[in-house]
Every structure is written in structure tokens, then in C-alpha cells.
Amino acid sequence: MLRYAGLFTWAAVGLWLIIFLIDPQALPLEHGEPLWQLVRWLVVYLLFGIAYWRITRALGDRKPGIWDHTGLLLLTLCAIGVSYFSGTALGSILLMVVAGLLPWILPLRVGVLWLIVGNLAVLPIYIGPLGFPLVMGVLQALGYMGFSSFVFTTALVARRQAQARDEQRRLNAELRATRALLAESVRVNERTRIARELHDLLGHHLTALSLNLEVANHLTSGAAQEHVSQAHTLAKLLLSDVREAVSRIREDDAIDMVATLRPLAEHMPALQVDMHMPEPFLLDDAERAHVLLRCTQEIITNTVRHAQASRLELDYRLADGRVLLSARDDGRGADPGRFGNGLRGMRERLGAYGGSMEIRTAPGEGFALDIVLPLEEAPDQLHAIPGAPGA
């Protein structure tokens, strides 16, 4: 809506251009080259519209880049140029349109400074071609600056509301992933309980029944012995079936990490998250599954908040009894010597289970992270012998 409101304002300013095209002599400039003045005015006016159309495409759904900042500078210069080439205050109206973009592209303080400098740059037009006294010219510039400030504040509120919605979507994705892990854990625990009950209760009673039938088989004869023998055979067969059923339940006693991790990549604001996972991707240990989930959450959160990246790749692999996670974004990178509590917390989580984390980054070169999480306790973690390798 803000985009089309700006385009409507730009089109409304163009109505004055049509008027002066009909009567070039009405231009409030020195006489002599009105046609040349109109051509320059037309060029910067059309250039403003094209730049505005390009820069506002999906602006709230992506991270502002160097082209956005360049386009913002071009818009400001074109708006000022409209005033200089037309000898009117029309450029100040276009600067209001620019003010609506400032909060989406620049930090707050830089945006305020940009707004002030842009409006003051039109001051010579009020004093020169328009003929205002200095005081009146300053008041006129401040008046338009006030209008621009109102537009700036409106856009700032809209931007912060959009950021709050993006944060809410990210938190919802984390909640869905945590809920999926909880559901998987409940499913695994229930299957484990059922398997344990089948083994302990039915297995015990069927074993006792089989032993009693075997004794009865030795104590009976004739037709009765034949029936007892068949019952003994059926009891042993049923006991075998129970053991096989318990084994199958135990084999499926694992957490599906694909269903757990996928929700984290959905509906991320201004970030494309590509997850590559093996099929199937199952973990037997709920605690290690939780560690992997939290590490993935922290990686995505850091990328959204700090990296200014548009794409994040997460590659999961299972090899040699370990989970390997490689993460890389195309963001601005970071100083390798300065990491926050989130990364330190990840390292501590992994260290508690014998895992490790390696970071590769530099300013302007993106951020890469390699995680190794063993699926079982290593022998040297259980009993570290002083002086032994790895102790």
C-alpha cells in the first residue's frame, strides 16, 4: 500500500509537468531555454518513477543491499533535481515519497539525517526562483520537512510492525519444531513403554505357561498328551511372536528429525533456508535430538538477526556414528574473535555430549559453521585415563 501511495503521489506531481509542457513560458525560471528546462525536468522525473518502482519491489521481504542504497541516493537526487529544473517546490513533495522509504533501508539515525539534508537542499529554490525572503524560505523548507517527518514516522511504525510480524513467524516456526520434537519423543516413549510391557508381562507369563505345558506333556498320555503337546507348541509360537513384535517396536524406536527440523525453515522472513537431510533421518537419543534442534534454531536465529543474508544452507549427514551439520550463509560475515552467548551456548551443549563446533568466517565473506555430534558416548568420555591420547 505504501508503494502504490508513493506511485500515486509521483503521478500527481507529473500533472504539473503536463501543464508546463502545454505552456512552457509559465515556468517560474529565467526566460530563454524553457524547452531545455522541461527536458531535464522530464528526465529526472521519469528516472525517479523508474527507480522508485524498482527499489520498492518486495522491499519488506528482503534485506536492503547496496543497490537499494544506490537507488535511494538516486531518488533523492532526482527529487531535488525536479525542484531545480522546474523552479518549484514539487521536489519537496517527491522527498516525502523518499521519506517513506528511509526506515525500510537505513538505520533510524541515518534516515533522520538523510531526511533533514534532503529537505534543506531544496532551500535555494525557495530563495531564488520562487523569490521568498530568507526567513520565509527557511520556514517553507521546515514546513515540507515536517510533512516528510510525518511520512517518515508512519513508515517507521509500519516497518517495526513488519519486523514484529517477522519475529512472530520465526518464533512460531521454533514452537512448531519444538512441538514436533515433543510429539516424536512422546511417541517414542509410548512405544518403549508398550514394548517393555509386552516383554515383561506377556513374555513372563507365556514362558511360565510353556514350562507348565512341557511338564504336563510328560505327565499325560494318549489323546490328552496330543492336545497338551499342541498347546505347548502354540505357547512357544506365541512367545516367539511377542519377542518379534517387541523387536520391531524397538527398531522403530527413533525420532524422525526430518519432521522435527523442517518447520524451522518455513516462512523465514527475508531468508531462504535450504535443508539437505538424509532419508530416513532418525535419532534414537531424544537428548541428542534436542541438542541438534537447539543448534539449528540458534544458527537460523543468528542468520536472521545479524548476518544480513538472503540464503542459508544446512547440510545434515550421518557418518561413523555421528551427526554432521554444515551451515553456510551469504551474509556479511563476522569478526572471528567476537562471538555472542548463543554460539558459546551451542559449543557448551555440544561439548556435554562429546561434540564439537568449528567456525569459519571473515567480514564480507559469509558465515560457515561445522558441527559434529556423536550419537553414542565414546569410551574415553566414560573413563579418561591420565596421559592417554585424547585424555
**Which tens digits make up the pLDDT trace of 42-63?**
899 999 999 999 888 877 767 7
Separation of alpha carbons 383 and 372, rounded Å: 21
Q: Which pLDDT belongs to residue 149?
A: 92
- Give the count of alpha carbons within 13 A of 245, CB side only: 15
User: Taking the complete model, does pTM exceed 0.75, yes or no?
Assistant: no
Task: Sheet containing 367-374: give its strands across.
Answer: 272-276, 311-319, 322-329, 367-374, 356-361
Among residues 260, 281, 268, which one has the least CA distance to residue 329?
268
If you compute the radius of gyration of the chain from its CA atoms, what whole number of angstroms results?
36
Phi, psi of 285 (to 5 degrees): -95, 115
Helices 223-251, 203-219: inter-axial angle, 10-degree rounding = 160
Q: Is 364 left (phi over 0), alpha (psi -120 to 50) or beta?
A: left
Among residues 318, 333, 329, 332, which one has the least CA distance to residue 371?
318
Contact criterion met (CB below 8 Å) for 115 and 99: yes
Q: Kindly state the cell numbers that stand for 255.
A: 525420532
Cis, peptide link before residue 263, omega less than 30° from 0: no
Q: Which parts of the chain sit beneath pLDDT 70?
A: 21, 23-35, 61, 184, 187-192, 194-205, 232, 239, 241-253, 267, 269, 336-339, 377-391
**Site of grid cell 505552456:** 23
Q: Is 315 left (phi over 0), alpha (psi -120 to 50) or beta?
A: beta
- Burial label for 56, CB within 10 Å (0-12, 13-18, 19+), is buried
Q: Kindly state the cell numbers that stand for 179.
A: 512441538
Q: Which pLDDT belongs to residue 126?
A: 81
- Give the count of alpha carbons within 13 A of 24, CB side only: 14
Contact criterion met (CB below 8 Å) for 20 and 28: no
Count of beta carbons in the 10 Å neighbourhood of residue 354 = 17
| Domains in the chain, CATH or no CATH each | 1-253 (no CATH), 257-382 (3.30.565.10)
Q: Kindly state the cell numbers that stand for 9.
A: 503521489
- Give the count of alpha carbons within 13 A of 212, CB side only: 7
Separation of alpha carbons 44 and 66, rounded Å: 21
215-232 in b/e burial notation, b at 16+ Cβ within 10 A?
A: ebbeeeeeeeeeebeebb
**Site of grid cell 517553507:** 140
- Burial label for 58, CB within 10 Å (0-12, 13-18, 19+), is exposed
Q: Which pLDDT belongs to residue 113?
A: 94
- Burial label for 208, CB within 10 Å (0-12, 13-18, 19+), is exposed
Count of beta carbons in the 10 Å neighbourhood of residue 352 = 10
